[in-house]
Amino acid sequence: MVDLAALYQETGDIPWVVGLSGGKDSTALTMLLLETMEMLPPPVRNRKKVFVTCVNTLVEAPPVIDHVHAFIAELRNYVRDRDLPVEVVELLPDVEQTFWVNLIGRGYPTPVREFRWCTDRMKIRPGKQFIDDNPEIFGTPPVVHFLLGTRYDESISRQRTMEAHTRLGTDIHSHGIMPTAGVIRPIEDWPTEYVWDYLLRSEWAKGGTNPFREVNGRLAVLYKDAASGECPVIHDPTQQTCAGSRFGCWTCTVVEVDSSLREMIDSGREIYEVEKLNLLADFRDKLRDERNLEENRVHGRNRRGVTLVKRDGSVGTGSYTMGYRKTVLARLTELEEKIGECLITEDERLLIQQIWVEETANLALKMAEQTEAAE
């Protein structure tokens, strides 16, 4: 059992970063840390700066990101009212690396298990960038401890990943990609039943009442209405993504069927705006179905005009054609109008147009060079 209060004091002023995905485990971890800090004397807890970071990929399933924002609002009120040295930060992927800029702009085919280009660009890099952008806090190279809500009883694959990074004789384990950082897993031995008991209990530190019980009750409803599992906070691109779990992106095509969105739709609850979720799910299914259609893909070259040849000498398949990319953008714009929500930012639209202009110019130059060489 990890003694979080002892670790808090033993690690001095090394900053802690909590990864909040919005699922049950990361929520329980966040609550445990808050309770621990509240029990410490102010001079002790104020020695350390704590950050709770949440990565919003901009394509999160609407019921999930709505819940995350509700929890974050409660969390910010809590740390403000108790004057805790905790900063809550919502992180976004760089506009160059968003889902739509890569798919519609650069023509990346929708992600599949063999080509999961989304995980690193949209989930891992924002967290790493946050550390790199604040050297005055974390140092160079960064010295920081990440607190993760990973648990051994989540799955066999998660257990193996945790064991691979475990350091014997300490509760501060190795980080997958940051050698000067450490990882603390305060709830690693908690069974699932205890996680839920903790989230929904009424008791709190110093005889208080659980300030997150109501919002956690709504989280329990999400779990009840959708398939089991959640989107974990990911620091290592080799780890399993949230594909196949409940709390994934609404655009995710790594799985054949997005059971999470469909389960919420089938629940019939008005809180989910079923008509909107149906339109999103249908859009996602169409992206999946059209991924490998021959007419949607460039053959024999990539989007920069470089020839693609397989080892056996056959012609390789490249990115989406410009025509198909424009079709997807038009459909996305139409979907925005139907549901009355922004699904792609203006910055993304501008960058997509810029990428298209540059790509067209580069291809024209490449063709001119090839023509000149042939003459």
CATH number of the structural domain spanning residue 65: 3.40.50.620
- State whether 211 and 311 are in the same domain: no
Domain boundary among 194, 225, 256: 225
Q: Is residue 278 part of a domain?
A: no
| Residues 6 or more apart whose Cβ sits within 8 Å of residue 152 | 158, 159, 162, 188, 189
For 278-308, what is each residue's pLDDT tens digit? 999 999 999 999 999 999 999 876 666 565 5
* Residue whose pair of structure tokens reads 């919005």 in the numeric block: 22
How many domains does the chain fold into?
A: 2
Q: Is residue 348 part of a domain?
A: yes
* Residues pairing with 309 in the sheet: 315
- State whether 221 and 308 are in the same domain: no
- State whether 156 and 34 are in the same domain: yes
Kindly list the strands in the beta sheet with 16-19, ordered across the sheet, starting from the edge strand earlier in the chain.
86-91, 50-55, 16-19, 145-147, 182-184, 172-174
Q: Is residue 240 part of a domain?
A: no
Spans of the chain, pLDDT less than 50: 228-232, 234, 238-245
For 82-110, what is each residue's pLDDT tens digit? 999 999 999 999 999 999 999 999 999 99
Q: Is residue 301 part of a domain?
A: yes
Q: Is residue 60 part of a domain?
A: yes
Q: Is residue 275 part of a domain?
A: no
- State whether 189 and 83 are in the same domain: yes
What residue type is assigned to position 274 of the chain? Answer: V
pLDDT computed for residue 291 by the predictor: 95
Domain span at residue 92 reads 4-225
